Chains A and B, each alone.
Chain A
Amino acid sequence: MLELQGLTKIYNTGDKALSDVTLTIPDGQVVALIGPSGAGKSTLIRCINRLVQPTSGSATIDDVNITALGSTGLRRARRKMGMIFQEYALVERLTVMENVLSGRLGYVGFWRSLFRKFPQSDVDEAYRLLDRVGLLEMADKRADELSGGQRQRVGICRALIQNPSLLLVDEPTASLDPKTSRQIMRLIVELCSERGLAAIINIHDVALAQMYVQRVIGLKLGTVVFDGLPTALTPEVLTDIYGEEDWEATIETVDDEDDEI
C-alpha cells in the first residue's frame, strides 16, 4: 500500500509543483493521474522514488517511509518500484537484453553487473518477460534499432524484472500512435492484474485512461482536485481540471477492439 502524506515540492526556482498531496493507493490498484501540463504529475511520481527530492511530506510504501531513507535504504526501496518513461529511456547503445537485465542492478553486485554475469534466474526471467511482450527474437538487437512501441515494451520488461510491488508510469503513450498507445496501455494493465501490481499512470489521453483504469486522480497546479471512478469524469470535472472546453467528445466511450499485442 502506498500512502502519500502532505507531499510538497518547491523547486529551487520557487515554483510550487506539488502542494500538500495526500492520497492512499491500495495494493493492486491501477490509478490514472491526469491533469494539464505543468500540473505536477511527473513531479509526483518522481517524488515517490525520489528521483526528485520532495520538500516536505512523506511517501510510505508498506510501512517504509521512503522520504526518510538514506542512500542504501533508498536503493533497496527503489527495487520495489518499477518505472516506465515517456521517451522509453532505454540506454540506446545497449542491447535489448542488457536493458532488460539492467532492471536487476539493485540485486546484483558491481563486478557481476560490469561483466554482465547476471544470475541464471535473472536471465531466465528476462527471456520469459521478453517472450511475454512478444520481443524474444529481438533480445540481441541494440535498443536504438527498435520502433517506439517495441522500445516501450522493453521498458516495461525492465520495470517488471525488478519484481516490483508498484509501477510508476510517466506518460507511457505520449510518443506512440493511437493503436500502439492502446496496446501498451492494455499490456501494462494486464501485467498489473497478472502480478497484483499497483500502478500510477500519468496520462494525457483521458479517454484512454477511462478505458483501462480503476481510479482517476485529477491534478491541477499541484493539488488534487478530483479523485474517483473513471465513470465519474463528467464535463464539469474535466473543466475543473483542465479549463473550459467542449468535453463531450472526449469522454465518449470508445469501443475496445481486440488488437494483437
Chain B
Amino acid sequence: MPMKEQNGLKVWQLRTPRSQLIRWGAWLLGLAVFIFSWQEISDNTLWFMMDNVGEVVADIATRATPPRWSFITELGRPIWDTLAIATLGTILALIMAVPVAFLAARNTTPSKLFVRPIALLVIVSTRSVNSLIWALLLVSIVGPGVLAGLIAISIRSIGFCAKLLYEAIEEINVVQVEAIKATGASPMQVMVYGIVPQIMPAFAGIAVFRWDINIRESTVLGLVGAGGIGLALQSSLNVLAWPKVSLILLVILVAVVIGEWVSAKVRGAII
C-alpha cells in the first residue's frame, strides 16, 4: 500500500510503519489482558479441592458403571416429552418468527421508522434471554410441566429464526421481485411468487437447524421443572443415583445424535 522510493527502487510494504506499530501494540495488550485474567482465576481457585480430582472422577465413574439398563423403561415418556417440546416449540417459533422477519427486513417492512425497530426489539429480547431462564419464569407462571418448557423453547427460538430469516429476505434477488410486480400482481402475490420461493431453502435450513438446537436445549429444561428428560436427570442426581444418571446421559446423547443426523440429511436434501 504505502510506496516509497529507496535508491531508485520502489519499496513495497503491506502496511505503513505506524499501522504496523499499532497492530503490535494491540496484540501485546491482548496478551497482557489474557495473562492477568489467568492470574485472577488462579488466585480464586480452591487448589486443595484439586488434590484428589483424579480419585473423585474415578470414584464417580465406577459408581456410574454399568448404567442401570432396566431404568430405560421409565425413560421412554420423558425423552418423548423432550422431543415433543423441541419439535412443537420449533413449529410454534417459526409461525411467530415468519411475520416478525417480514416486518424486520428492510425491503419488506411496512415502515422502517416504526415497525422495523419493534420487530428488531422482539428479535433481540427473545434471543438475549436463555431458554432456562424463560423456563424458570414460565414454571412460576403456568406451573411446572411440559407446557412451560414448550413455551420457553418457542419464545427463545423466535429471535433466532426471525433474525436468520430476515437476513435471507434482505438478500433476495430484487429483479425477480420487480418482474412479478411488473405483471400487475398485488403485494401479497408479489410475496408469494417473488419472495417466498427465494427464501424457501433458507427457511427449511433454519427450521431444521433450530430444531436440532432445541433438542439439546430441551434436555436441560427439566432441571427447573419444565418437563422432559431433564426432570428425570434432576431427580436421579438429587439422590446420587449414578447408574441412572449415566443411562440418562446416554439416552440424551443418542437423541442428540439422531437429531443432528436428521437435520444434516434435510439440509443436504435442500441444497
B193 close to A105 (CB less than 8 A)? yes
Task: Please give, as numbers and ranges, the residues of chain A lying within 8 Å of B183 by CB-CB distance.
Answer: 78-79, 83, 102-106, 158, 162
- Interface 1/0 per residue, B175-192 and A, CB below 8 Å: 110111111111011001
CA distance A90 to B179 in the complex (A): 8
Q: Is A81 an interface residue (CB 8 A)?
A: yes
Q: In the complex, which of the residues A51, A77, A82 has the most CB atoms of chain B within 10 Å of its own CB atom?
A: A51
**B200 located at the interface, meaning its Cβ lies under 8 Å from any Cβ of chain A in the complex:** yes
Known: A91-B198, A110-B189, A114-B192. A102 touches B180 (CB 8 A): yes
Given the known interface contacts A79-B184, A94-B197, the answer about A89 and B179 at a Cβ–Cβ threshold of 8 Å is yes
Q: In the assembled complex, which residues on chain A have CB atoms less than 8 Å from the CB atom of B200?
A: 93
The distance in angstroms between the C-alpha atoms of A106 and B175, with both chains bound, is 18
Known A-B contacts A106-B184, A158-B179; A91 and B197 likewise in contact (beta carbons under 8 Å): yes
Give the complex CA separation of A103 and B182 in angstroms.
9
Contact A91 B178 (CB under 8 A): no
B169 to chain A, nearest CB (A): 15
Which residues 192-209 in B have Cβ within 8 Å of A in the complex? 192-194, 197-198, 200-201
Most buried by A among B183, B193, B198, B201: B183
Chain B CB within 8 A of A113 CB? yes
Q: How large is the interface on B (under 10, 10 to 19, 20 to 34, 35 or more residues)?
A: 20 to 34
Once bound together, how far apart are the Cα atoms of A168 and B185, in whole Å? 17
- In the assembled complex, the CB of B123 is this many whole angstroms from the nearest CB of chain A, namely 26
- A226: interface (CB < 8 Å): no
Q: Do B186 and A51 have beta carbons less than 8 Å apart?
A: no
Q: Is A87 an interface residue (CB 8 A)?
A: yes
Most buried by B among A75, A77, A79, A158: A75
Q: Please, how many angstroms separate the alpha-carbon atoms of A92 and B180 in the complex?
A: 12
B190's closest neighbor in chain A, by CB? A105
Q: Is A76 an interface residue (CB 8 A)?
A: yes
Q: In the complex, A79→B186 CA distance in Å?
A: 11
User: In chain A between 3 and 40, which residues have their CB closer than 8 angstroms to a CB of chain B?
Assistant: none
Indicate whether A210 reaches chain B with its CB closer than 8 angstroms: no
Residue among B182, B189, B192, B194 with the highest chain A CB neighbour number at 10 A: B182
Contacting pair A162 B179 (CB below 8 A): no
Set B175, B181, B189, B198: member contacting A113, Cβ < 8 A = B189
In the bound complex, CA of A90 to CA of B181 (Å): 12
Known contacts: A110-B189, A113-B193. The answer to whether A89 contacts B184 by CB under 8 A is no
Asked if A75 and B186 make an inter-chain contact with CB atoms under 8 angstroms apart, the answer reads yes
Are A105 and B179 in touch, CB under 8 angstroms?
no
Q: In the complex, what residues of B have CB within 8 A of residue A110's CB?
A: 186, 188-189, 192
Neighbour of A51 across the interface among B181, B185, B189, B193, CB < 8 A: B181
B184 touches A162 (CB 8 A): yes
Question: Which of chain A's residues 67-100 have a Cβ closer than 8 Å to chain B?
Answer: 75-79, 81-83, 85, 87, 89-94, 98
Q: Which residues of B contact A (CB under 8 A)?
A: 173, 175-176, 178-186, 188-189, 192-194, 197-198, 200-201
16 contacting pairs across A/B (C-beta < 8 A): A49-B182, A75-B186, A76-B184, A78-B183, A82-B182, A89-B176, A90-B176, A92-B173, A92-B176, A93-B198, A93-B201, A102-B183, A103-B183, A105-B180, A113-B192, A158-B183
Given A90-B179, A105-B193, 14 more pairs with CB closer than 8 A: A78-B183, A81-B182, A89-B176, A90-B176, A91-B194, A92-B173, A94-B197, A102-B183, A102-B185, A102-B193, A105-B189, A110-B188, A110-B192, A168-B182
Residues of A within 8 A of B (CB): 49, 51, 75-79, 81-83, 85, 87, 89-94, 98, 102-107, 110, 113-114, 155, 158, 162, 168
Q: Lowest 3 CB-CB distances: which A-B pairs, in order?
A: A106-B184, A105-B185, A78-B184
